Amino acid sequence: HCGDNSDLQATGWQDWYEGVRKTFVQVKQRHGQVFVGGLSMGAVMSMYVASEHPGQVAGLLMYSTTLKYDGWSINKLAFLTPLLMKIPFGVHICSFEEKPPYGIKNERLRAIVERQMKEGESSEAGLLTMEGITVRELHRMNAVVRKRMPQIKVPALVLHSIEDDITSRWNADYVERHLGGPVTKILLDNCYHMITVDLQYRRVIELSARFVEQHAVLKSTQAPVGAGLPAMASLRSA
């Protein structure tokens, strides 16, 4: 985040993970327990973090998990994307542009986000377009994570909107069926893909806080300052 498409095209998903890994290690040094969470692609990345650090992640908070772009606003031919990515030069001849409603049901907020995206304020609203190279990397990461899911044993909170315009509830159901640890899946209404800022954001906060409280284990007071307190590392979507 906070970059442009040229930054994304010059990197792969392993590079994205390296930035996440460094942050995770830093947070882990200060806290005995770390909960990792993310929105959209960030939810998938959070599972990869857990698979790379067995026994070190206290829990996962997964918002609008994106394993497949199959929401009601997505082009019906999107299922052909993986095939296009395998064609020589296929990644260089296509790009995907964000279109209304931009994952947001709240009309006032949607207007603000649309303006920010068109003005290139990626740190606040994300990018308006996604190039083929980036989509290819997302597919590659998803393929790796799907294979690892049964080995991920940590508790997970999976929140997904039944009105999600980008990724259908199939994604949440898939996580529930294949993740190796206990999964708490809750389906929301009256919001679209960006559940952390949309009309149900307060509900998302409440459910997340409750999940952390339920799964956090207080350590001895002899530990370094902050070591016994749970921390949350969050990841946003691409």
For the entire predicted model, the pTM comes to 0.86
Measured in Å, how far apart are the chain's first and last C-alpha atoms? 7
**What's the mean per-residue pLDDT of the chain?**
86
Model pLDDT, residue 117: 80
Which helix (H) or strand (E) element contains residue 82? helix 81-86
pLDDT of 222 strictly over 50: no
Alpha-carbon distance of 213 to 230, in angstroms, equals 9
Model pLDDT, residue 223: 46
% of the chain with per-residue pLDDT over 90: 63
pLDDT of 62 strictly over 70: yes
Band the pLDDT of 96: cuts 50, 70, 90.
confident
Contact by Cβ (8 Å): 21, 49:
yes
pLDDT of 227 strictly over 80: no
CATH class of 5-235: alpha beta
For the beta carbon of residue 90, count every other beta carbon within 10 angstroms.
14
Model pLDDT, residue 118: 79
Model pLDDT, residue 95: 67
* 133-165 tens-digit pLDDT: 888 899 999 999 999 999 999 999 999 999 999
CA angle 144, 94, 141 (to 5 degrees): 10
Model pLDDT, residue 238: 44
pLDDT of 51 strictly over 50: yes
